[in-house]
Chains A and B, each alone.
Chain A
Amino acid sequence: EPEVTQTPSHQVTQMGQEVILRCVPISNHLYFYWYRQILGQKVEFLVSFYNNEISEKSEIFDDQFSVERPDGSNFTLKIRSTKLEDSAMYFCASSGLQGATDTQYFGPGTRLTVL
């Protein structure tokens, strides 16, 4: 069964460093998303991406964040200068053709630890 994959599973970085989190969405999907879950808190929406551009973003998704689909398979989240409060689990999701039965499928997540 097709699935969303994410790498790395765990990333440790120093405050102020740039990180890139990678995702491979399900191959025929058209909508891509990033969410994050700070330990003990709700899963929060960051950004959605469709047709090679951001379709929606939350207040969390400030200028430090960017997303890219550099080729036909990868979808990346870049944090330019990490802060301690960026420590969280980051989930990528994708969904397919518009239709009643399509839903967002999530990857296993990348745990980001900022020291």
Chain B
Amino acid sequence: GEDVEQSLFLSVREGDSSVINCTYTDSSSTYLYWYKQEPGAGLQLLTYIFSNMDMKQDQRLTVLLNKKDKHLSLRIADTQTGDSAIYFCAETEEYGNKLVFGAGTILRVKS
């Protein structure tokens, strides 16, 4: 079945770049997403990428997709303390279908 894996923890200094990695198994994945969860809050959509794209940039966020290796990464430039949260990678085969989530990466930003 589908599976999404992420590293569990990342610690960076304020101002540095953060790179959060994700791998997935389903070659039918069409849409890939990054969600952010702050303590006690819901899942906030950060960005998404379609499987026919290699890269997407949105302000401080850059998403890279290597479809051959089924590897997705989220780069946060100039990381701020407010970026401290859990970041979830998720994929779906088709629009309107279920999302399959990774376990989440805890990002800790040290000032």
Contact = CB atoms under 8 A, between A and B. Distances in A.
A104 interface: yes
B96 A50 contact: yes
A65 B2 CA distance: 23
Contacts of A100: 50
B96 A91 contact: no
Interface of A: 4, 31, 33, 35, 41-45, 48, 50, 55-56, 58, 91, 93, 95, 98-100, 102-109
Contacts of B35: 106
Q: Which 10 A-B pairs have the closest CB atoms?
A: A45-B98, A108-B42, A106-B43, A43-B101, A106-B42, A31-B96, A42-B103, A109-B42, A42-B101, A98-B95
Contacts of B104: 42
Interface in B83-111: 88, 90, 95-104
Contact of B45 (A42, A48, A56, A105): A105
B88 A43 contact: yes
Interface residues of B, number: 22
A42 B102 contact: yes
Main DSSP-derived SS at the B contact region: strand
A107 B88 CA distance: 15
A16 to B, nearest CB: 28
11 contacts: A42-B102, A43-B90, A43-B99, A45-B100, A48-B96, A48-B98, A56-B98, A58-B98, A103-B31, A108-B41, A108-B42
A55 B31 contact: no
A56 B100 CA distance: 13
- Which residue, A41, A42, A45, has most C-beta atoms of chain B within 10 A? A42
B89 to A, nearest CB: 11
Contact of B96 (A44, A45, A98): A98
A41 B89 CA distance: 14
A44 B44 CA distance: 16
A23 B102 CA distance: 24
Interface string B40-83: 01111100101000000000000000000000000000000000
